[in-house]
Amino acid sequence: MKEPVWIVGVGMTPFGRHIDRGVPDLTAEAVGEALTDAGLEQRDVGAAFFGNTTQGALEGQLMVGGQIALRGMGFQRIPIFNVENACATGATALHLAVSQVRSGAVDIALAVGVEKMNVPDRAKAFSVFDGAYDVSDPAGLTATLIALGGDADASDAGRRSIFMDVYAAMARAHMARFGTTQRQIAVVAAKNHRHALHNDKAYYRTELTVDGILAARALSFPLVVPMCAPITDGAAAAVVCGERGLRRLAVSGRGVRVLACAVGTGVERPLDASDQHVTRLLAGRAYEEAGVGPEDIDVAEVHDATAFSEIQLTEMLGLFEPGAGAEAAGSGVTALGGALPVNPSGGLESKGHPLGATGLGQVYELVRQLRGEAGARQVPGARIAIAENGGGFYAGEEAVAAITILGV
C-alpha cells in the first residue's frame, strides 16, 4: 500500500492579465500563500517542483526558471526541478511532489505552476500553442482533424490558437456521434460563467446567457469566444507532506488526503474508440488507486479549455455515460446545487487558463471545497473530489492526462 500523502497548504493568485508583474512575483504570491496556509516557512520545504510552459518561448528564459523564481524568494540548498508537460504541467508538478514525499526522500515538498502569457506581441503568445503537437508533421495534424470532425469552413473564424481548431474537431465528432448541439455546449459555458461570479480569483466574472454566448464572435464551429479559455497570467501552489511532515504541523487537521495522483499517455487506437481514450484509461487507474469509483465523487474540476471539453471529460471520467454529458449539464446536474457540481470555480473558460498553473489552480479549488472554505460556491458535504488536467494533442486526443483524487 502506498504511503499516505496530504496537501496541507494551497495558494493562488487571481488569474487574469498581470501586465506589470513577472514570473518571480506571481510565484512568490502563490507560494507565500500556500506556506502560510500550511503554517510553514521556506526552510521546512525539502524539494520544489516548478511548472511553467511558456517562459522560454515568450521571455527567452529557456532554463533554470524555477531556480531563478524560487531561489530569488529565499529557497536555498534544496533541489528545484523544472517541469513542463503542456497544459498538464501543474498537475504533473503535483504528481512529482507527491512521489517525492511518498518515496521518503523528503518530508515536505512544494509544487508550483506559473505563467505570464500576456505579452505585447499577441501573435507570439498565440504561437506557443504551435509547439504542443508534433511539429514535424503539420500535414498529419490537418489530416487527423479532418478525420475527426470533417473539413469545416473556418473562413469566418477570428484569430485563435490552433487548439481551438483541435477542440472544435473533437466537438464536431461528438455532435455527429451523439447528437450534441451547439446550444448544449453554450449551456455549459453559461453555467461556468455563472459559477465564476462567486470566485474572486477568476478572470471573467460576468454572467452570460445562452443566447448571448451563441451570438458571440465565432472561432471554429461550433466554438465561440465565451466557450473558450482566454490567454491568462497567474500562479498556484500546493504544499504536500507525509506522516512525518504532518506531525510537525499545527494545522494538520486541515490536511486533505491525496487518494490518487496519476499521469499517463494514450495508446494507439481508432479515432472513434472512446473507450480507449487516454482520460478513460487513466481514470480507471486513478479510481483503483483511490479505492473509489465515479459514483463516489462529490465535486469535480475538469480541463474545460472549451465548454465542449467539459462534456467530453465528464464522460471519459465515468461521471456520465458516453453521450450523456451534455444532457446532464442541461438538466442542472453539474451546476452548483446539482447532484454533481463540475467546475464550481468557473472552470478554465471563466477562471482563466495560465497553462502551467491550471492543474494546481484546480487543486486549490478542490482543497477549499473539501475543507468547506469555498463560500458562496461551496458544495455542501463534499468529501471526495476529482481533478482532470490534460495537455497537448497527439493521435486524436490529449497527449497527456493527469488525474488527482482528493478526500477528507
Residue type, 93: A
pLDDT, tens only, 344-403: 999 999 999 999 999 999 999 999 999 999 999 999 999 999 999 999 999 999 999 999
pLDDT at 252 over 90: no
DSSP code string of 249-287: -TTGGG-EEEEEEEEE------TT-GGG-HHHHHHHHHH
Rounded CA separation 115/164 (Å): 20
C-alpha cell at 169: 474537431
At residue 155, the pLDDT reads 59
**277 a catalytic residue:** no
At residue 405, the pLDDT reads 98
CA 183 to the chain's CA centroid? 24
Q: Which of 18, 87, 195, 277 is catalytic?
A: 87
- Which has the minimum average pLDDT: 47-56, 153-162, 204-213, 349-358? 153-162
- Give percent of the chain above pLDDT 90: 91
At residue 248, the pLDDT reads 75
Q: Would you place residue 317 in the very low, low, confident or very high pLDDT band (cuts 50, 70, 90)?
A: very high
Residue with cell 507527491: 98
CA pseudo-torsion sign 201, 204, 207, 213: negative
Q: Would you place residue 289 in the very low, low, confident or very high pLDDT band (cuts 50, 70, 90)?
A: very high
C-alpha cell at 212: 448571448
Q: Would you place residue 261 in the very low, low, confident or very high pLDDT band (cuts 50, 70, 90)?
A: very high
Q: Is 18 exposed, middle or buried (0-12, 13-18, 19+ CB in 10 A)?
A: buried
C-alpha cell at 50: 516548478
Q: Do the domains at 6-120+232-258 and 129-228+260-407 have one common CATH topology?
A: yes
Q: Is 261 exposed, middle or buried (0-12, 13-18, 19+ CB in 10 A)?
A: buried
Rounded CA separation 170/180 (Å): 12
pLDDT at 57 over 90: yes
ω into 222 cis (within 30 of 0): yes
Tell the CATH superfamily of the 6-120+232-258 domain: Thiolase/Chalcone synthase (3.40.47.10)
Q: Is 179 exposed, middle or buried (0-12, 13-18, 19+ CB in 10 A)?
A: exposed
Residue with cell 463516489: 296
pLDDT at 294 over 70: yes
Q: Would you place residue 3 in the very low, low, confident or very high pLDDT band (cuts 50, 70, 90)?
A: confident
CA pseudo-torsion sign 180, 182, 187, 188: positive
C-alpha cell at 218: 465565432
Q: What is the pTM of this model?
A: 0.96
At residue 2, the pLDDT reads 80
pLDDT at 153 over 70: no
Tell the CATH superfamily of the 129-228+260-407 domain: Thiolase/Chalcone synthase (3.40.47.10)
Please give the mean pLDDT across all residues of the chain: 95
What is the domain partition of the chain in residue ranges? 6-120+232-258, 129-228+260-407
The count of residues in the chain is 408
pLDDT at 184 over 90: yes
At residue 1, the pLDDT reads 60
Q: Which of 18, 95, 193, 353 is catalytic?
A: 353
| CA distances from residue 173 to 141, 273, 274, 278, 323 in whole angstroms, order as listed | 16, 12, 11, 17, 11
**261 a catalytic residue:** no
Give strand ranges (E) for 178-250.
218-220, 223-224, 234-241
Kind and range of the H or E run holding 178: helix 162-178
